[in-house]
Amino acid sequence: MVYSKDLNIENLPNHVAVIMDGNRRWSLENNKNKFLGHREGMKKLEELIETSGILGIKYLTIYAFSTENWNREKEEVSYLMNLLVEFAKLKSKVLENKGVKVNIFGATDELPDKTREAVLKLREKTRNNNKLYLNIALNYGSRNEIVKAVKKIIDKCESDKEFYNKIDEEKLKEFLYSRDIPDPDFLIRTSGEQRLSNFLLYQLAYTELYFTETLWPDFGKDEYIKALKEFQKRKRRFGAS
């Protein structure tokens, strides 16, 4: 079994969100090719998906590529786009067989053609699965997501004058990428950085946050279990005193 005896399997988060940070720093600290950290990080993502599925965690949302990441060196961006294609093609059958349903958060129309085609094909191939919902935030920025939601609401109000009076927090959620998905219970960010970096700003309002110094390529099963144990120590109040 993948979990330790003192992990309460009955008290696990339903939805885990992860900011996978530290790939480049890992390459530097280990004197590796500057892009190797991204490939090692992909291996850790596979392990995270596997462990989450075994534990029965229902939703997993990962920050794969932000709208700000386009500002990186073109060579690195190209490598990341190709790595996403590789992941989508090589892991498609594995994810399908394990009951993983892939969803994409972000503006896929702005991705390179081969990357967009690969991830959308992966989404299509896994659409009937329901064991684990894997949400990949790709070309994603939360502020941009909220702006798009507001524009859609304005359009809706113009066509339906009664809709304005129906708008509340839950109604707004219907216009987000995560409209059919419960908010995260637990956010993990690796590499020691303690910020959200424009990730799920609306959805993380009452999420428990966990920051670790461990770089993402070193964040294996044991580190994941350690984080989940910390979650189980938290007393969630959802804004109550």
pLDDT mean over 160-167: 95
Q: How far apart are the first and last CA of the chain?
A: 38
pLDDT, average across residues 223-241: 89
Give catalytic status of residue 218 as yes or no. Answer: no
Residues of the chain with pLDDT > 70, as a percent, come to 98
Q: Which of 8, 11, 21, 71 is catalytic?
A: 21
Question: What is the per-residue DSSP string for 28-93?
Answer: HHTT--TTHHHHHHHHHHHHHHHHHHHHT--EEEEEEEEGGGGGS-HHHHHHHHHHHHHHHHHSHH
pLDDT tens readout for residues 58-88: 999 999 999 999 999 999 999 999 999 999 9
Give the pLDDT confidence of 101-136 residue by residue, as tens digits: 999 999 999 999 999 999 999 999 999 999 999 999
* Beta-carbon contacts of residue 11 (< 8 Å; ≥ 6 apart): 232
Among candidate residues 193, 223, 229, the one with its CA nearest the CA of residue 208 = 229
For 14-60, write each residue's pLDDT tens digit: 999 999 999 999 999 999 998 999 999 999 999 999 999 999 999 99
Catalytic pick among 69, 82, 129, 144: 69
Enumerate domains of the chain plus CATH numbers.
Answer: 15-141+186-232 (3.40.1180.10)
Indicate if 69 belongs to the active site: yes
Please tell me the predicted confidence (pLDDT) of residue 102: 98
Residue 6 has a pLDDT of 84
